Chains A and B, each alone.
Chain A
Amino acid sequence: MARFGMVIDTKKCVGCMDCVVACKTENDVPDGHCRDWISQRLQGEMPDLRLTITSERCNHCDSPPCVTCCPTGASHVQDFGKVVLVDHGKCIGCKACLAACPYGARFIHPDGYADKCTFCMHRVERGLAPACVDVCPTRCMYFGDLDDPESEVSRLIATRRHFVLKPDAGTRPRIFYLE
C-alpha cells in the first residue's frame, strides 16, 4: 500500500508562488485563503547571505495530531496513500485541528468545514501529479510513494541532504526539502 509524500528541491525553487496560484484555481480555494504558501528565511550578512525558500502545505504527517484531536472523526487518514483528509460532511468546524496542527496548514472554509491540502487526491486517483507539482516552472517538486524504494521521491531522499519542517513536533511530516 502506497504512502504518498513530497520532495521539494530548495536549490531550484525560486519562490514564484506558481504552486500557490495553481492550487487556488485547481481547488477553487476561496479568496483570502490558501492551501499552500511560500516561506522565506534569510540568514547572514551582506554579502554572505543565505536564503531558504520553502513551498509549504499540509505535511500529511505519519503522526497527525489533527486527526487524533478531531472529536467527530472528520479528520482521518485514508487508506489510499495514507493521505490525511477531512470529511466535509462530518466536520463541525470546531477548529480543534487548526489549533493542533503545528504548521498552520488548515483553515475554515467559508462553507464551515476545516480545509487544507489534499495532495490533490482527485488528480492522483486519475494518475496525475498534484496541481502544484505539475505547474512548478522550475520542476523542483516531486510526488510519489515513500514506501517504494525505487520511487523518485525515495531515491532523492536517500541520496540528497534534506530536512523537514519542525522535526521536534513529533508529527513525522512527509514533505522533505532538499538542501
Chain B
Amino acid sequence: MNRISRRRFLKIAGFGAGAAALAAASTRRLSGAIPAGTAGVRTVPTYCDICFWKCNAVAHVRDGQLWKIVGNPDDPLCQGRLCPRGTGGVGAHFDPDRLRAPLMRRKERGEEKWVEVTWDEALGYIAERMQTIKAKYGPEAVALFSHGIGGTFLKHTLRAYGITNSAAPSFAQCRGPRDVGFNLTFGEEIGSPERTDIRNARCLVLIGSHLGENMHNTQVQEFAEANGNGATIIVADPRFSIAASKAQHYLPVKPGTDLALLLAWMNVLVTEGLYDTDYVTQHGYGFDYFKAELAQYTPEWAYPETGIAPEIIRATAREMARHRPATLVHPGRHATWYGDDTQRSRAIALLNALLGSWGRKGGFYYPSSMDVPAYPYPPYPQSARGKVDNPKQRFPFATETITTGIREATITGQPYPVKGWFVYATNLIHAMPNQEETIRAIRALDLLVVVDVIPSEIAGWADVVLPEATYLERYDDLNVETFRDPFIALRQPVVTPPADQKPNWWIARELALKLGLGAYYPWHDIEEYLDFRLKGAGLSLAELKQKGLVRGPQQPLYFEDGVPAEFPTPSGKIEFYSTQLKDAGFDPVPRYTRPADGPPGTFRLLSGRAPVHTFSRTQSNPVLRDAMDENEVWVNGDVGARLGLHSGDYVRLRNQDGVVSDRVKARVTAAIRPDCVYMVHGFGHTSKGLRSTFGKGASDAQLMTRYAVDPLMGGTGINVNFVTIEQGA
C-alpha cells in the first residue's frame, strides 16, 4: 500500500526515532491567554480565494483566533462542502513565510535583497517611477498581469492612469484555446465556472481532464454524483488518473494524438448514422463538407496514431451515441498542450454538436447572472496606440490579451516599449513557459511591482513588493456569479492581518491618490463602494455581511425548457464548417497533424494538478503543505525496471535544452505510458523567502523551455518538452 498522506517518519517515530520531528508543535495555535471579549466561537460568511472558483464559505473564529472554514450550505457552487484547498485555506493566514511589510530592492534584480519600507515610501516611489514612464513613453508602457477577482481595484487605478495592456495567464496559458474553439463553433464560450451539466450526464467523456485531482469543486462533486448514478465514464489520458480509475472505458491515448481520436469518434458517429440528425439538420452549418472531410479519419487510420484499437474507438463512440443528448464530452480547462489546441477544442465542440448535447440536459446548460450595476466611475482615458500583445492581429481569433505577447513586446520594444509591469497574485515565473524569456523581459523594465501574499518567485525579481492581506483578512469586489443558479456573494474580513499587510483595494486607492487620480475614487472606504453597488441591486451590505450570498431565481437552462436555440456565429448556426477560419487561412474543419516525437531515449513531460494545491501559490500554506509537501515524477514501471529505478528514489530531469530540475522523487508505476513522465505543477520553489517549501520537489515550469504557439489565438502549448532521467540525485 502506498500511503500518500501519512509520513513514513510517523510510522517509526513511536519507537524512539524522529523525536525532533515530533517536537515541532502546531504553528497554528498560539499559546497564551484568550484576549478579552473574544471567548467562544464566532462565524463569518465569505468566499474562498484559494482558487478562482470562489466557493462560498463560513469561517469560524474561536477565542479570537481563526479556527476553521467550511462550505456555506446556501451556496449552489459548493453545496456546503469546500474542496481540500479551501478547507486548508486557514493556513494562508498562518503561513510563516508570508510577506509582512513593503519591500524595496537594494541589490540587483532577482538577488532577493530587500529593505523594509513604509507603505508611504513604497507607493510614493512607485508613483514617481510611473510618472517618469508616462512622461517618456506614455501610460501604455505600463502593463498589468493579474489573476483573480482581487485585481479589480488595481486594474481600475491603472486604467485611470492610462494603461491598455492587461492580461491574465488564464487565457494564453490555460483555457483560451477551449473558449475560442467553442466560440468558433457555437458562438459562445464555456466560461468559468464551466457550463457543463455533469450532474445530469448519462455519459461523461474526459480527455486529459483529471477531475478529482483537479479539484474545481462543483465539477468534482457533480462527477461523483454522475458516477454514483451509474453514468458511463470514458477517459482518454496517457496516465491512469483518478478519473480514469472511475471509468468503464479507459483509453491510454498516445500523448498529443487526442485530435486523431476525436476525429475517429466523429467518423464513427457519422458513418454509422448514430449522430443526432434532427439537431444537426436544424442547427448545423456546412455539415456536408464536414462529413466529406471526416471520411478519411477511420478508426483504422486512428489506431497507429493514438494506440487505441479500432474496436474500442467504435465501442466508445456507440456508447456516447446511446446516451445522447445527455453525453457530455468535457471541454477541459487547462487546454494549452500542443499548439493546435483551438482546433482540438473545436473538434470537442463538434463532437458535442453531433451528440446534440449543447443546450441540452446532461450536456451544456445556459448559465445566467443577476444584475448588479457597475460603480459609476469617470470614463478612463482613451489611447490611440492599441495593445502590444497582438500586433497586426497576427492571432486573429484571440479574444483576450496574451500575456506572452506583452512579454515579447517588453523584450523587443515593438510595437512600442513596455517599461513597467504590475503583477498581481500570479507567479509569472511558474505561470508562463520559458523562464529565461520572462527574465529577459524583466531586465528590460524600469519598474516591476509585485502585489502578493507570499514571496513568490516573481516577487523575487521585483523592485517593490507589496504585501497583501489574505482573503480571510479583506474585502474584495462582489462576486456576481454566472452559473446554473445565479447569486451575488461577498468576501469580507474574518480576522485582521498579522502584520503590515493591506487589502488590495486600499493599495489601489492609495496609489491612485499618489498619482493624482483621486477623482476615480469617490468612495473612501470599500464598505461604501460595496453598499452603493448592492443598493443598485436592491440589496445592502448589511444583508450580505450576514448571509454571505443572495441567490437569484434560476432561469431556463436548456433548449427544452425555453432557452432560444440561437448561435451567435457568422452563419447563426453551429459551424461544422467555419468560413471565418477559412477566410483567415486556417482549416475550416479541424485537421490532424502528427505531433513531433522527442529525441530517442527521452520522455514527453506532462503536468497536472494535485487536489491539495493551487498553481504555485499554496505550497507554503502549513495545512496544505502537511497534506502534500513535495511532488513526484511518475515513471512507467517497465522504464523504471530498465533503469533500475524504484519509487522513492530521487532523480533529476534534464530537458532537451539542457535545463536540469531540482531533485524530485520518482513514482514508478504501471499507471503511466512508457513514452511520457508526469508531475504535479507548482513545486520546486526557488524563492529564498519561501523557506518552508524551498527546494521541495521539482518545477515543471522550469523544464518548459519550449512552447508551441497556437496560430489562432496565441496560446502557449507546453506538452512539447522532453526529458531524460538522471539518477542518484
Q: Chain A residues in contact with chain B, CB under 8 A?
A: 9, 11-12, 14-18, 20-22, 24-26, 28-34, 37-42, 44-47, 49-51, 53, 95, 98-99, 104, 106-108, 110, 134-140
User: B6–A104 contact, CB under 8 A?
Assistant: yes
* B623 interface residue (CB < 8 Å to A): yes
Query: B25's contact among A30, A134, A135, by CB below 8 Å, is which?
Result: A30
Minimum distance in angstroms from A145 CB to a CB of chain B = 23
Query: A18's contact among B29, B87, B225, by CB below 8 Å, is which?
Result: B87
5 interchain residue pairs of minimum CB distance: A14-B212, A138-B224, A51-B245, A16-B611, A37-B6
A-B contact pairs, 29 of them (CB 8 A): A11-B228, A12-B228, A14-B211, A14-B223, A14-B242, A16-B212, A17-B628, A18-B82, A18-B611, A21-B87, A21-B623, A22-B70, A24-B88, A30-B26, A32-B7, A34-B5, A34-B6, A38-B4, A42-B671, A46-B240, A49-B240, A51-B671, A53-B245, A98-B14, A110-B26, A137-B82, A137-B220, A138-B220, A139-B225
A22 to B83, CA, bound (A): 10
User: A16–B88 contact, CB under 8 A?
Assistant: no
Minimum distance in angstroms from A128 CB to a CB of chain B = 11
Interface string of B1-20 (1 = CB under 8 A from A): 11111110111011100000
User: B221–A138 contact, CB under 8 A?
Assistant: yes
* B22 interface residue (CB < 8 Å to A): yes
User: B84–A21 contact, CB under 8 A?
Assistant: yes
User: A20–B670 contact, CB under 8 A?
Assistant: no
Q: For B670, list chain A residues within 8 Å (CB).
A: 42, 44-46, 49
Query: B81's contact among A42, A44, A46, A136, by CB below 8 Å, is which?
Result: A136
Closest to A54 in B: B1
Interface size class of B (residues with CB under 8 A): 35 or more
Closest to B14 in A: A98
* B406 interface residue (CB < 8 Å to A): no
Q: For A50, list chain B residues within 8 Å (CB).
A: 245
Stretch at the interface among B246-254, B390-398, B504-512, B710-718: B246-254
Q: Chain B residues in contact with chain A, CB under 8 A?
A: 1-7, 9-11, 13-15, 21-29, 67-71, 81-84, 87-88, 90, 211-213, 215, 217, 220-221, 223-225, 227-228, 240, 242-246, 250-252, 611-612, 622-624, 626-628, 669-671, 673
User: B24–A11 contact, CB under 8 A?
Assistant: no
User: B22–A108 contact, CB under 8 A?
Assistant: yes
Q: For B69, list chain A residues within 8 Å (CB).
A: 25
Minimum distance in angstroms from A4 CB to a CB of chain B = 22
Closest to A45 in B: B670
User: A110–B22 contact, CB under 8 A?
Assistant: yes
Q: With contacts A20-B627, A42-B671 known, what are 6 further pairs, Cβ within 8 A?
A: A16-B220, A24-B88, A39-B4, A51-B671, A135-B71, A137-B221
A16 to B251, CA, bound (A): 23
Query: A37's contact among B5, B21, B671, by CB below 8 Å, is which?
Result: B5
User: B26–A28 contact, CB under 8 A?
Assistant: yes
Minimum distance in angstroms from B419 CB to a CB of chain A = 43
Minimum distance in angstroms from B206 CB to a CB of chain A = 13
A12 to B226, CA, bound (A): 10
User: A18–B83 contact, CB under 8 A?
Assistant: yes
Most chain B beta-carbon neighbours within 10 Å: one of A21, A38, A45, A110: A21
Q: For B26, list chain A residues within 8 Å (CB).
A: 28-31, 110
A53 to B228, CA, bound (A): 16
Minimum distance in angstroms from A146 CB to a CB of chain B = 22
Q: For B669, list chain A residues within 8 Å (CB).
A: 42
User: B29–A28 contact, CB under 8 A?
Assistant: yes
A24 to B612, CA, bound (A): 13
A45 to B22, CA, bound (A): 39
A15 to B611, CA, bound (A): 8
Q: For B223, list chain A residues within 8 Å (CB).
A: 14, 138
Closest to A22 in B: B87
Q: For A53, list chain B residues within 8 Å (CB).
A: 242, 245
**A11-B227, A14-B224, A25-B623 known; A32-B21 Cβ under 8 A:** yes
Q: For A39, list chain B residues within 8 Å (CB).
A: 1-4
A17 to B10, CA, bound (A): 18
Q: For B11, list chain A residues within 8 Å (CB).
A: 104
